[in-house]
Structure 1
């Protein structure tokens, strides 16, 4: 997200704020294996450290995800991107954006350049 779009982002609704506060507490009490939330003072933008899964090309590598929650979360999906350096993968662009596109003919996600 660019700085201009970050300033244009609307504040969280009361429902979104309550939901994210609840989810953050749950994360702190019972964090998912291989993930770590980097504490900031911004409830609307989370930075998550991800450790590559054992037995994969990404084993023992650490990556950071930026999760931006929209005004009407959870009714709207958050935007998730990898911060630099993004892992090398066919469905992850060099700018960190993740391709989740799917065509009608294929069972696996595909991305266009």
Structure 2
């Protein structure tokens, strides 16, 4: 995909959206995407794949060295609401998901900054750093204890529709 005469990635401002983003959301996401498409992405081990829509990003994640997820590759899907950054993005792991006590097999992530702990001051970069930190702090691989019941009862709903209980900050 090209943004005209150049051969580099498209500038964020030129990308279409499937839903109507507010002017604030378009400006903010354009600035954040330009940062991610620069020669040196802001989070080591993560990159944004070529995106066709400003409101939907796919972020490639590589597990950090010396962790249980070292060199494993995963994909996060960021879906931005029309009123981003007032409302948080929906962030899920695309299958296959990491076997982590805070990541459900349907890709939903139990992480406070994605829900109750969201602040408009947070960015894609800060969310990615939180997710990378969560993965890196795991001492063993495993599913959440309620994975099967949660996935069965979720019925394709957004993780933002879940009333999360944040009772464990260790893995």
Q: Please tell me the TM-score bracket, short chain as reference.
A: 0.7 to 0.9
Select the structure of larger CA radius of gyration.
2
Structure number with higher helix proportion = 2
DSSP-derived class of the 2:92 partner? strand
Structure 1, unaligned runs of 5 or more: 1-8
Name the structure 2 match of 1:83. 94
Name the structure 1 match of 2:51. 40
Structure number with higher strand proportion = 1
CA deviations on 1:47-84 (whole Å, 9 max, x unpaired) are 00000011111101000000011110011111100000
Cα RMSD of the aligned pairs, angstroms, is 2.0
Q: TM-score, normalised by structure 1?
A: 0.80
Q: Number of paired residues?
A: 100
User: Does structure 1 residue 98 correspond to structure 2 residue 123?
Assistant: no
User: Does structure 1 residue 74 correspond to structure 2 residue 94?
Assistant: no
Q: Equivalents in 2 of 1:107, 1:95: separation in Å? A: 20
Structure 2, unaligned runs of 5 or more: 1-17, 112-163
Name the structure 1 match of 2:24. 15
- Displacement over 3 Å in runs of 4+: none
Q: TM-score, normalised by structure 2?
A: 0.54
Distance 1:48 1:91, change over 3 A: same
